[in-house]
Structure formats: structure tokens, C-alpha cells
Structure 1
Amino acid sequence: MKTYKYLLLLIGLSVTGCSDLVEEPKGLLAPEGFFQTTEDIQTAINATYAHAYNEQIWGRKLSNALMLRSDMAAFRPTGSTARRVEMDTHTITDDNEMVYDPWNRIYRGIAAANEAIAGAALVDVPDAEKNPVVAQAYFMRAFYYFHLVRLFGEVPYLTEPVTATTAEAQAKINKTSAEDVYKGIIKDLEFAEAHLPNTQPARSLPSAGAAKSYLALVYLTKGDWQDAYDKAKEVINNKAAYDYELDSDFQNLFNADVIDASKEPIFALDYNNVEASDNAYDQVAPMTGIRNNYRFGAGNGGWAQVVPEIKVFNDWPAGDYRRAVSFDDKAVFFGDHDSNEDTPDEAYEVNYTEFGTADGSVHEQALARPFIAKYYRFPGTFARGAVRATSHNPSMMRYAEVLLIAAEAAVEIGNQQDAVTYVNLVRARARAGGSWANDYSNTSVPADISGTVTVNDVLEERRYELAFECKRWYDIARRKIGAQAFGPNGLEVRPEFSDADYLTPIPNTEIDSNPNLE
């Protein structure tokens, strides 16, 4: 993936949400005066990507919320930030900023997509030239709505620019049924599938393969098993055309220095050369990293806010290379380790069982448990102090997930042969090990599945393969397995979990300004 720099749309196009229908315009140029060429359409589309980078979505707020709501991660127990505690304990209130910030930012991304689509209609060029460009906006609109409908269920479904700011105009905005939102998502992805090229200069630009892959996941989420299987198979059978393949080394997928050369990412967010512009930078690394850890260089470490459930680590087969990549169970701290005033400060390594103890970590926030290593171990050249920003381009979808989508759908339609094949392809890559921990190379863990594959087998494989990649909560919600996941035998025990917890409350500020959303 080559570095792809995006320009923010700083002209007078309205970027709208539901509670704040139009932002203060930055200029006076009307859409009719701006949209003249396909390059103008692309400039408008670039604004849709920029919102996803923002800390209110993938930079921190939404990504962290999805991890905390799952059964694999928890908020650092010594902390007291109410908004994160609510996410972790499923006691989410409608004034939680990890709810309303993503809501508002996602709708701004949707508004930017709507502006680009509407503006494209003003460009007088043949559809064959215009559609491959505007199809990016359709893809991103589907991307944003797919998050919204899984989080909130019924939401306002807006497909045209909103220009009026009056209370009367706002009162016309109503919730749309989840089924109709899904119909819109599928329609947008089908347009993208039909018009996007098979490959793009960067994986941060959606391709036809990305549209097919998301269609497969949308169908899987809806329980349309045959459609999910068929669409995933289209990707698998044409992987050469789309330039997809499993990376030979699982660690490469989380190494900012090499990820751009990998063929596994299908759609990614590009944080290269995006720094502190409207909070558009990656903060997942510091949120998950070990506080005061010098293992990967001075100044690295993190804020230790989102940590793994200890049972996730303990129950994960120790021979699985993905476990070594996903966690850090050691850290290097710097200071007076033995409390001897005659001994100068020095670097010392400790096991996770010593984190937070008098003889271990020098910081109370380094809890006695392993930490999530996928995002801060190899943060790239763009990393800053405490890896507050990184060059890591997180995959929103990668080829391994397509294989597991096909496997899960295959189980549901009774195709055991394909289910076994696709799960074992993912497992074989894990067995091959890689550069991070050579002692994991060519092990027998995880062993191939033989015999019958169950839905639970595939869900467990997704849990290992996609650990801490913000997928697990959506799996729990779409399969309605919260009672088991948070039950007495679950990875995280939350006996008060109820079916109401599958959906997120709509922000109270939205309901106050528009009772139709209550």
C-alpha cells in the first residue's frame, strides 16, 4: 500500500449531522461551482475518508468502545473514566461521549459521501469515466451505515445532502428500520462492486474486491447464509484478480513498516503522514500499550487503558503464534529496580505477573496481566512519544476474514468440505510462525480441524485470528451469544447482561433536538 495523502474538503460544502445539521462553511463556493471534473469528485470523496481517521471513530473512540464491549478486553480496573467503564460493563448511558462522538462523526462522513454523490451528478463526463470514482463514495456511505445499524439498529437513513437547518426541516428526519438500512447498504455496495476497479494504488482505496468482501459480511450479519457464501466465494475464486493472499507472517499485519507491502489487507485506513489534523491520528496503540514500557525503545509504551481479559490469555493455546503476536507478556522498565540507592537506574525486564508490583513496574497502571501488542509493538517511523501516533494502517477487512466468512456460511448451508478447507487455511498460516518469535515456526498448534465444523468452531477461530481488531463485539451481537459470552463460563463474567445491551442508546442530544429519534 503506497502512502496516499488525503486533502480535507475545506470549501463550502455542508458537512452534516443530525443534531448539528450544517457546520460553519469554510468558504462561499457552491457545489455547482466546484464540481467540474472527476478530480473534483475525488477531492470531495477524500473528505469521507478523513472522518474515519478521526479519534472519534477509529483513532480512539469507536475502536476502543468495540473492544471494551466484547468479552476479550476490559477497561483498566484502577481507572475511573466513566465513559469507558460504561462500555466495559454494558451500562451505557445516552450522554456517553463514546456514543455521541462516533454518532456525530459517522454522520459527518455520510454527509461528505452524500455531497460527493450529489456533486458527481453535476459533472458532465461519461458515466464510464465518472462511476469508478463516485463508487468510492457509495462504498464509504455503506461502510459508515454498516457501523451505525449494527450499533444502534434503527437510525436516520440520509442519502442526500441536508441543507436546511430549521426545526421544521429537522423534524422531518425520522428513524429508518434496520432492514431498510441494510437494503441501502447492500444497494450502495452493489454499485461499488459494479464500478470500482479490481485493484487500487493503495488498500486505503476501496476496490471491487473490497465491495464484494463487505457484501459477504453484510449478508453474514443478516443471516443470509447462501448470499454470504456466494459472495465470499467470488472473492476467494478471484483472489488473483484482486491481488489478495494470506500474508506468510501474521506479525506483518501489525508491523507499520511492512504492512503496506502485504496482499492480505482488503480495505484499510491509512494513517501514514496523517498527524494531529483535527485529531486525525491513531491512538489505539497508546490506549492498549503498557505504561512506561521501554521494550521497543525509549518513550514507547502507552496509557494502559484497554487491557485483555486475563482468561483470554490463559485459555489461548500457548503454541499458537497468533498469541505471541497479539500479547506482550514481558516489558522493560527503567529505574531503580532493587531500591538500592547505590545502584544507578537501569533497564530491567519483568514478566507480566510482576507488572504493577513494587519489584516490577514503576507505574501503577501496568497491571499484572499481559497487554495487547498488535498496535504498539511496531508503530513505524511516524510514532511519537508513548506511540500516541503511529504509521500503522489498520485493516478494516482482510483476506483471512473472507475465508472465515465463507467457512461460517458454508457450515450454515451444509457445505462441510469448504468449511473445513477455509478454517484450515487460516490455521496453517498460524502454524507457520514468523519473524517475531522463531520458536513458534512450524509447530503443531493450531492443528487442522478434521470431521465436522460447527458454527462455534468458526466463531472461536475468528476470536483468535481477529483478536482485538474490533470484530468480536459485532460477532457476539449478530449471533446473540451475549448470555454465553458474559455468563459464568465466559471470558468476561457480566451476569447482568441482557438482550437490551446488544444495541447502543441514541445520544440524548439527538433525541432532545428531534423526538422522532426517541
Structure 2
Amino acid sequence: MKINIYKTLWCIGLVSLFAGCSDLEEKPVGILAPETFFRTTEDLQAAVNGSFAYMASEEYWGRKLTTALLLRGDLADIGDLGTSAMRVDVNNFEMNDANGMVASFWPRSYAIIGAANQAIAGAGQIDDEPEKVNAIAAQACFSRAFAYYHLVRMFGDIPYIDFAVSDVSDVDDISKTPEAEVYAKIIADLEFAKKWLPDEQPYRSLPSKATATAYLASVYLTLGEYRKAYDEAKFVIDNAGTFGLSLDADFQDLFNADKAPGLREPLFTIDFIGQNADGNLGTDYLASMTGIREDETGRAIGGGWTVAVPQLKVFEEWDEKDYRRAVSFDTIAVFNGETMPYTVFANFSDRGVNRPHIAKYYRYPGLAGSNGRQSSHNYIAMRYAEVLLIAAEALNEINPGSSEATGYLNRLRERARNRAGVLSAYPEDVPGGLSQDQFRDTVIRERRIELAFEFKRWYDIKRLRIGEEAFGPDGLEPQPNFDPARDYLFPLPGDELARNPNLQPNNPGY
């Protein structure tokens, strides 16, 4: 049975159970209404933790949302053509308003929002020090902003709900909020979070002041407000020591589930617990989705599913001397006890493909089950490297030729020259003296390489309006169905529009 937004919000408001994340260690609690449940800051934190717990679910970061973002970009394609049609349709720009991926991550998004709204409303019921209450409410504001930031980039105008729902009739006839207003509300939530969150948290799965600031920088970059994007990114950079942030020395460590607790680069992570998932909460299938079919390595007995695989051109155009290429791609696998190159993968499975596979999630999934399912990855949704990239891109738009902007890119390239402790000469530093256009091209390429397969590329294609280039005959992933008048937005779920005519019409072309 499909879950719609109203049923989801009703459940959040009345009988929701918030299952626990590994680091947050909250107990399942039933939310009846803010005025009856919230008595202490511990109650408030439990509700906030529930909002983050919903992110770590199969319908959201564990597969549906993230796989949709991977396939929508130009770095990954469908490998197994026998996979579900809903994935093929997302990849091939053949979606309709009944797409099953949207039907899964849409209600999960509003579950995240609903839990955050309950916490924000409940904060007003607690008699405690305002600073203490606001610091927890700020986490909820961040969670709400995080969910809406994904929704507005994917769908444009959307229903915006910022109150605790205790009666389903409260949202029976809700309308869409214009995209510009949604962004304004996201910014307001992030500003509140920036003001009240602490400099550091005990876990990177809880947002800090730096997390909120980095997302402000990202939002402003998306909106083309480059001065504000630079100012917010610079605030994080200037205070990196206070925030406990730095680039981790070995790029591979960022994608090794066992190394997650010691990393200093993440600003926000979505944590999975490995084999102990409760239903879809805590369940991660990304390693399986991207892993090599029939691979016999011990990390993922039985092999992956070869659903989202890199475009061969992406691999071939990436200089083999770049350590980030080795980290990002699996080019060998074990079949019948023998190590084989990617050029013969398809020989061992009628649904495999002769391409390198995405390695960032399949190589080191930590505590995981068969095929790498239910990993213990702490997925990095925002990291310090991206803050440097935002600062570099924004600064180039307001002050071309800046050595400061060049320096930010060169910090990433310097880290990339560390090949697991062995220093190399590649990639070389970005030279000075580039024109504004040349530097813009350089920083966008650097984002593509540094953040490859981290669910950022589709958003870059959209904000830069480069879909016709990316999906044209000479692009990384030629897609003849791409239509710039339609495909920069996903379709709103048709069943939602059928239930509530106020949400109509659907996005253009659907």
C-alpha cells in the first residue's frame, strides 16, 4: 500500500515510533501531541533524534533517494538492464508521476519534516534554560531545512508544512508553496540553527554550527547569491579549528565504514548501524546497488547487484594518476576464485556489465550482511572539502583571478597526492592566472571528481543548467530523452495530486 503525505503526517503526529540510530542511542517513543509529551529536554532530544533516524532508512539515504540522485546525473548509468523499471525510467528521463522511487522517498521526506515539526512545537512546552532548549530545537530546524532543501531542488514548488500535525484535516487542502518562499524558509531555519547550535557535537550525525553554516553556503550557491555563499563558506574555513574540522589525510578513509569515528572532515553524516536494522529504518542497500554482481570477495559475499554503475567515459577521462580515481572505482573482482579485470565482468553473469563499478560504498561497508546489505556506513552528506569548493566557486564569481580561490582547490589536490601514505606528483596544482571562465570550468570539474558518486552531481547539472551538454551526444552520458523544459524537475507523486486538487498541476511535461 502506498503511503501518502497525509497518512504519514497523521502517523507522525499521533502514533509515530522513532527508531534509534547507532550513535544517538535514543529509545523509541510515542508522540501523542507536543503539549502532552514534551516535559524535559530529554523528551525533546528523543524527538529530534527520531527525525534524523528517518533519514537513515531504505526509502531515503539507504537506497531510494540516493539512487535516484545517482541515476539522474551523468556519472552513473543502469548496469543491470533487468532491474526495476522505476530505476530505468529515472535514468532514461522517462519518468511519470507514478514512479515508485518518488513514491517512497517523498513520504519519507515528510516523515523527517513531521518529526522535526513536533520537536520544534514541543520546545515551547519545556520549562528549562532557553539556551539549552534552543540548542536542541536548532537541530530540528536543521533537519527540516535538510529535507526541504532536497525536496525543493528536486520538485520546485512543494507543500511546505512547518507546524505539528495533530489532526489530518489540518493538511487536507494544503497547497504548494512557491520555490522562492521555500528557499526563504530553509534559510531562516539554517540561520536559527547557526545561531544556537554548538561549535562541535559528540557525533557528526548531529549538526553543529559549522554544519548549518556550510548548508547556508550551499543554498546561497544554488541560488546564485555568490557573495553570501562565499561569506558563509569563509566563516567555516576561518573557524575550522574551533569546529574541529580539517581535510582527512587519506581520501580512502572517507569511505571506509570502520574509519568513520576518527574522521575530522565530515560536517554531517547519516549513520547506519550494520545488520541490526529495524525494518526499513537503519537499512542500507547502497553498497549492494553499486557492487559488482557475482563478486566473491569477502567484503560482500554473493556480490552486489550492478544497478548504478559508472559511465565508461567517466572512468576513461579521469587521469589514472589521480588517487581519487582508484578510491572511486572498483576495476577488479573475484570470480571462481580468480581476480579478473572489469573488461570481463559480464562473462561471469548474464546481468553483469564490463565496466568499473562505484567503489566508495561497496569496498569497505564495515559491519554488513550478504551483498553488502545493511552496512554500517556513516554517509557523509556534507564535508569540509565541499566547503572549500563552494568558497572557490563563489569567490571566482565575485573576484576573478583570486589566489585565495586557487588555494582552496590546491588544498584538495595536495590531499589527493597522498596515495595511502605514499606521496605522488599528481594532480598538479591549479596554476594562477586563469580567466574567470577557465577557473569556473576548473572548479566544476574539481567538484565532479572530488564529490563523484556522492549525490551532488545532479544538483550541479540543474543549478548550472548544463543538462543539454551533460546528456548531449558529446556528454558523459548521452540521453536523447533529456528535455530541458521538463527534466530539471521530478514529477510530483500523482496519487498526492489526485487526493488533493490544490497540489495540481504537476510539474511541466508530466
Return the TM-score normalized by structure 1.
Answer: 0.90
Map 1:273-312; keep pairs closer than 5 Å: 275-280=276-281, 281-297=283-299, 299=301, 301-312=303-314
Conserved 8 A contact 2:274-2:374 = no
- 1:364 matched to 2:350? The reply is yes
Of 96-105 and 61-70, the range deviating more from structure 2: 96-105
CA shift, 1:303, in A, is: 1.0
CA shift, 1:123, in A, is: 0.5
Of 476-485 and 295-304, the range deviating more from structure 2: 295-304
1:10 match: none
Map 1:139-154; keep pairs closer than 5 Å: 139-154=142-157
1:47 match: 50
For 2:335, what is the secondary structure of its paired residue? strand
Give the 3 Å change call, closer, same or farther, for CA 295–356 of structure 1 in structure 2.
same
Of 247-256 and 407-416, the range deviating more from structure 2: 407-416
1:408 match: 393
- C-alpha separation in 1, matches of 2:361 and 2:459: 20
- 1:173 matched to 2:177? The reply is no
Give the 3 Å change call, closer, same or farther, for CA 164–59 of structure 1 in structure 2.
same
For 1:449, what is the secondary structure of its paired residue? coil
2:507 match: none
- C-alpha separation in 2, matches of 1:156 and 1:181: 9
2:425 match: 443
Conserved 8 A contact 1:320-1:446 = no
Of 146-155 and 72-81, the range deviating more from structure 2: 72-81
- C-alpha separation in 2, matches of 1:366 and 1:354: 9
Report the residue type matching 1:371 in the other structure: H
- C-alpha separation in 2, matches of 1:207 and 1:20: 28
- C-alpha separation in 1, matches of 2:97 and 2:404: 43
CA shift, 1:365, in A, is: 2.5
Give the 3 Å change call, closer, same or farther, for CA 419–300 of structure 1 in structure 2.
farther
Report the residue type matching 1:60 in the other structure: R
2:413 match: 427
- C-alpha separation in 1, matches of 2:299 and 2:235: 44
Report the residue type matching 2:226 in the other structure: W
- 1:350 matched to 2:340? The reply is yes
CA shift, 1:20, in A, is: 4.6
1:22 match: 10
| Cα distance per residue 1:99-158 (max 9 Å; x no partner) | 121111000110100000001100111211211111100000000000010000000111
Corresponding residue pairs, total: 481
- 1:123 matched to 2:94? The reply is no
Map 1:305-324; keep pairs closer than 5 Å: 305-324=307-326
Task: Please report the RMSD computed on the Cα atoms of aligned residues, expressed in angstroms.
Answer: 1.7
1:389 match: 374
| Cα distance per residue 1:335-370 (max 9 Å; x no partner) | xxxxxxxxxxxx10111101112xxx2x22221010
Conserved 8 A contact 1:16-1:22 = no
1:272 match: 273
1:257 match: 258
| Cα distance per residue 1:50-104 (max 9 Å; x no partner) | 1101111100000000000000001125324210011111111111111121111
CA shift, 1:495, in A, is: 2.7
1:209 match: 210
1:86 match: 89
1:339 match: none
1:479 match: 464
- C-alpha separation in 1, matches of 2:320 and 2:9: 52
CA shift, 1:298, in A, is: 6.4
| Cα distance per residue 1:278-321 (max 9 Å; x no partner) | 31221100000001212344616311111101100011011000
For 2:340, what is the secondary structure of its paired residue? strand
Conserved 8 A contact 2:297-2:334 = yes
Return the TM-score normalized by structure 2.
Answer: 0.91
- C-alpha separation in 1, matches of 2:495 and 2:321: 49
2:77 match: 74
Of 253-262 and 219-228, the range deviating more from structure 2: 253-262
For 1:454, what is the secondary structure of its paired residue? helix
CA shift, 1:174, in A, is: 0.6
- C-alpha separation in 2, matches of 1:486 and 1:275: 40
- C-alpha separation in 1, matches of 2:8 and 2:249: 47
% identity of equivalent residues? 47
1:505 match: 491
Conserved 8 A contact 2:9-2:110 = no
Conserved 8 A contact 1:294-1:301 = yes
Report the residue type matching 1:317 in the other structure: D
CA shift, 1:428, in A, is: 1.1
Conserved 8 A contact 1:19-1:509 = no
Conserved 8 A contact 2:83-2:307 = no
1:159 match: 162
Runs of 4+ with >6 A deviation = none
- C-alpha separation in 2, matches of 1:245 and 1:424: 14
- 1:332 matched to 2:334? The reply is yes
Give the 3 Å change call, closer, same or farther, for CA 223–29 of structure 1 in structure 2.
closer
Give the 3 Å change call, closer, same or farther, for CA 428–170 of structure 1 in structure 2.
same
Conserved 8 A contact 2:244-2:264 = yes
- C-alpha separation in 1, matches of 2:15 and 2:327: 45
- C-alpha separation in 2, matches of 1:370 and 1:316: 12
CA shift, 1:273, in A, is: 5.3
- 1:223 matched to 2:224? The reply is yes
Conserved 8 A contact 1:45-1:116 = yes
5+ residue gaps, structure 1, are 1-14, 335-346
For 2:267, what is the secondary structure of its paired residue? strand
- C-alpha separation in 2, matches of 1:43 and 1:372: 35
| Cα distance per residue 1:188-223 (max 9 Å; x no partner) | 000000000000001001000000000000000000
- C-alpha separation in 1, matches of 2:440 and 2:397: 8
- C-alpha separation in 2, matches of 1:455 and 1:243: 29
Asked which structure has the greater CA Rg, the reply is 1
Conserved 8 A contact 1:285-1:387 = yes
- 1:111 matched to 2:111? The reply is no
